[in-house]
Amino acid sequence: MSIKGINMIGPHHICVLYVATAGVQGPLMGSDEQEIVLLIYVIIDVMQNKVVGIQQYPIRPSAADVNENILSEQLTAESVLTDEVIKTSGRLLDTALNEFDAYCQSLHIDPYTSGFRLITDGQLPIRQCLHPEACRKDIDLPPYYTSFHDLRKEVARFTNQTEETPASIADLLTSLDLKAETENEFYMRDAKDMVNIVHKLISEGHRFEFHETVTLALEPGICSKDDEIDSNCVVRARGLPWQSSDQDIAKFFRGLNVAKGGVALCLSPQGRRNGEALVRFVSQEHRDMALKRHKHHIDSRYIEVYRASGKDFLSVAGGSSCEAQAFLSRGAAVIIRMRGLPYDCVAKQVLDFFASGENSCSVLDGTEGVLFVKKPDGRATGDAFVLFANESDAPKALSKHRECIGSRYIELFRSTIAEVQQVLNRSLDPKTYDPPAPLIPPIPQLPLLPQHIITSGTRKDCVRLRGLPYEAQVEHILDFLGDHAKNIILQGVHMVYNAQGQPSGEAFIQMDSEQSAFVTAQQKHHRYMIFGKKQRYIEVFQCSGEDMNLVLTGGIPAPVSPAKAAPALLSPGGNIGNIIPTAYHPGANFPGYAPVQLAAPPMGARQFYPPPQIFYWPYPSPPVSPTSYYAPTMPPPPGAMPAPPPQQQQQQQLIPPDCIPMQQLPPQMQPIEARIITDPMQRSDHHEKIRQNFSNQYVELII
């Protein structure tokens, strides 16, 4: 093959490197974190323009299972590779790399010189596949894998079409008027096409002058708030382990070139790392490849990668302190952050802290290598940054974590230039020391409804709970109702208290419909409420707003069993005996006790006693401060009994307020009979039977 001119510039050996993974190929290769399964090397002597060496290495993934398929359907269709070949002939990645290195030595070719250069189909084989996988497996790649030629860019330069780079091998063949290879001596036909393209470029006198480099070390750099950052070069990484350093983040993006000082760890308002970082790359091409590492892993954690702006990066990494600029420009290899220092600590104490003990180390430039973080008024914050000259000083310094200066133990963390800038920016900002906003925003005060609106209407869309433990709160009622709680309207939970402000053991719940109230009463009546070690059964009745009002004003007829909830729970009219809400109900702990119903003679006009109070909380939002509602003061009806004499008033003051005042029975009145119901579950049925046998005048007593 003839060569147009002698190529005296560039490498004397070009090695075509073809890489295939077990997952997707093409423009998404490497984005699925699949391992490499094939390496093909073809060494071409540039001076003679001929192939001098060929090596193909099937690679066995370290996580391969002998009983599972290894290769994707796409790779199987595009190559002659099979799972059987990988399982029988495959070797580990580091073994294949060492075998190729030895093969080059056998050909008397030194791959470690600048005269030997790899060439690949685009950036992905080296940057997205080989370097990330080698980093995950702790494989040290030979130096010649950090410098390579991009065949697509070489063809674009040769055809003077640098604005639009070919996207595939088929596009490369079209640009050079070459035909695709039909006879294939490799596992992948694309490898043979790449060799033909390189032969074409060499024969036409193309010189391989511009090569790509892979930066392995994260270089430090100082960023000022006045710098201009290209927003097309920045990403945000989220979900990082809190102990991650800038070096760990650079390893996650191994193969891509991060700009100097291009890793900025984000801090929370409390000054601690929050698991996010902003990363700045040298070009948009590298940023686009970084976005394809979305949900790749650091250990067992997957990392989210999103676009970010230059403004975002400057807000974290940009600094404006001249003192910080001078401190960071000393060229230190390691920065250690100290936290928890005594407020009166001086630089000499910090130097002695690191110089003492077995793992002693020296601070760079003595006292000039210590920077204390201070508030705007000059007071100490207890934080400081310390510089060290060598990387070997880092483990020695960090070994003193939680050792003491005086009586205080000191926390040590490896830090970054961007973190120094961020901490100093915050410490000098007066807004940093403003009282923090509450984690839970205050609940807006909803307008409270007047009681006469709450306790009105004849729609039976409410339920009445009786027998609640005195300690029961709204949350316990919601737990007791379970799924029925979702049908409670806003501000629909009402706790009833007696005139002395003590819990009465009752509550009213406003539901969104009569059907909801009916189903709740049906399914929750006589069910148990677990309160600590106590177990109480609760009575649940369907009622209306007017029924609620009767309870609060003192007139409560007997409730109806939920199973027979046809008539109204509380009679709207009639000459009904006066009943005050019960202050105590024995419930399930005293199964032998039950309501005792007494036949009483007609009483005089109803006497009104201090009404109970009703408190309610908005639902479903958390409870707010309870508000008292009192029944409106009602004048005594005509014909009311006159006030008792002073002596009788003194006797009445000794009667507990929960007792029911009754008129003295006439002498000719027959003795009153009572019945004690032993089975509490049949209480409602007995209510019905007894009430059918007596007149509308009755009194219900809860023992």
**Model confidence pLDDT, tens digit, residues 339-385:** 999 999 999 999 999 999 889 999 999 999 999 999 888 899 999 99
Residue 335: closest CA among 373, 303, 374 = 373
Q: Is the pLDDT of residue 620 over 60?
A: no
Least confident of 29-33, 64-68, 622-626, 673-677: 622-626
Q: At what angle do helices 189-203 and 151-158 cross, to 10 degrees?
A: 40
What pLDDT shows up at residue 693?
43
Name the strand (E) or helix (H) holding 540: strand 534-543
pLDDT tens, position by position, 253-311: 999 999 998 999 998 877 788 899 999 999 999 999 999 999 999 989 999 999 999 99
pLDDT tens, position by position, 146-182: 999 999 999 999 999 878 889 999 999 999 999 988 8
Q: Is the pLDDT of residue 589 over 60?
A: no
Amino acid at 217: A
Give the pLDDT mean for 384-394. Answer: 94
What pLDDT shows up at residue 694?
42
Q: Is the pLDDT of residue 432 over 60?
A: yes
Least confident of 174-183, 288-297, 447-456, 663-672: 663-672
Rounded Cα gap, residues 99 and 101, in angstroms? 5
pLDDT tens, position by position, 77-117: 888 889 889 988 999 999 999 999 999 999 999 999 999 99
Give the pLDDT mean for 193-202. Answer: 95
Rounded Cα gap, residues 328 and 419, in angstroms? 11
Place of tokens 């119903």: 597
pLDDT band of residue 62 (cuts 50, 70, 90) is confident
Q: Provide the phi-psi class of 566: left if phi over 0, else alpha when psi is between -120 and 50, else beta.
A: alpha
Rounded Cα gap, residues 44 and 196, in angstroms? 11
Q: Is the pLDDT of residue 677 over 60?
A: no
What pLDDT shows up at residue 66?
56
- More confident call, 172 vs 603: 172
- The set of residues, in sequence order, having a beta carbon less than 8 Å from that of 388 and lying 6+ positions away, is 332, 333, 334, 335, 336, 361, 362, 363, 364, 369, 394, 397
The DSSP secondary-structure symbol of 467 reads: S
pLDDT band of residue 455 (cuts 50, 70, 90) is low
Q: Outline where 473-604 has alpha helix (H).
A: 474-481, 514-524, 545-553
SS3 at position 262: strand
The DSSP bridge pattern shows strands 147-150 and 116-120 to be parallel
| Range with the largest mean pLDDT of 3-12, 473-482, 558-567, 613-622 | 473-482
- More confident call, 249 vs 694: 249
Question: Structure tokens of 673?
Answer: 């009979």
Q: Is the pLDDT of residue 406 over 80?
A: yes
Question: Structure tokens of 169?
Answer: 């091998």
Q: What is the pTM of this model?
A: 0.60
Give the pLDDT mean for 179-196. Answer: 87
What pLDDT shows up at residue 521?
94
Please count the other Cβ atoms lying within 10 Å of the Cβ belonging to residue 480: 21
What pLDDT shows up at residue 224?
85
Q: Is the pLDDT of residue 501 over 90?
A: no
Q: Is the pLDDT of residue 245 over 90?
A: no
pLDDT band of residue 433 (cuts 50, 70, 90) is low
Beta-strand runs (E) in 397-446: 404-405, 408-409, 411-414
pLDDT tens, position by position, 511-520: 999 999 999 9
Question: Structure tokens of 72?
Answer: 């994707």
Name the strand (E) or helix (H) holding 104: helix 93-106
Q: Using alpha carbons only, give the angle 333, 334, 336 rounded to the nearest 5 degrees.
A: 160
Rounded Cα gap, residues 510 and 527, in angstroms? 19
